[in-house]
Amino acid sequence: MPNITYRSADGEETPIDLKAGTSVMEGAVTNGLDGIVGECGGSLMCATCHVYVAANDVERLPPKSEVEEEMLESAAAEIRPTSRLSCQIKVTDELDGLVVEIPESQY
Ligand code: FES
């Protein structure tokens, strides 16, 4: 199973093995990880699943959709070039080793 590492704002890393097809948001929520809320359940309506993808991992992800781009603008934390909504990142075998950083706040 692909392994995704979640890094908290204070640098603590939590690696989790996730089934392919799961979203990075679902992986965090179902494993009780703090900091990724996923309020809308992954339907691009909330931006409480905001993460920063590690700079060297950005190229591994498909580009953001226009809707993701727009919804990101309502994220509570600072938006960076590496910002993504984690409900839109589907875990695949190719994403094994992906690192995402959780912002300090989602509200
Ligand atoms: Fe709401 Fe990702 S969970 S936009």
Kindly state if the Cβ of 45 falls inside 6 Å of ligand 1.
yes
Q: What is the CA 48 to chain-centroid distance, rounded?
A: 10
Say if ligand 1 is within 6 A of residue 37 CB: no
Residue 5 belongs to what H/E stretch?
Answer: strand 3-7
Alpha carbons 103 and 18: distance in angstroms, whole number: 21
pLDDT digits (tens, 9 = 90+) for 11-29: 999 999 999 999 999 999 9
Q: How far is the CA of 27 from the centre of ligand 1 (A)?
A: 13
Dig out the tokens for 58 from the structure.
């950005």
Q: What is the mean pLDDT of residues 101-107?
A: 97
d(CA 74, CA 78): 10
Question: Taking the model in full, what pTM does it have?
Answer: 0.97
**Tens-digit pLDDT profile for residues 35-50:** 999 999 999 999 999 9
Ligand 1 binding pocket includes 29 (Cβ within 6 Å)? no
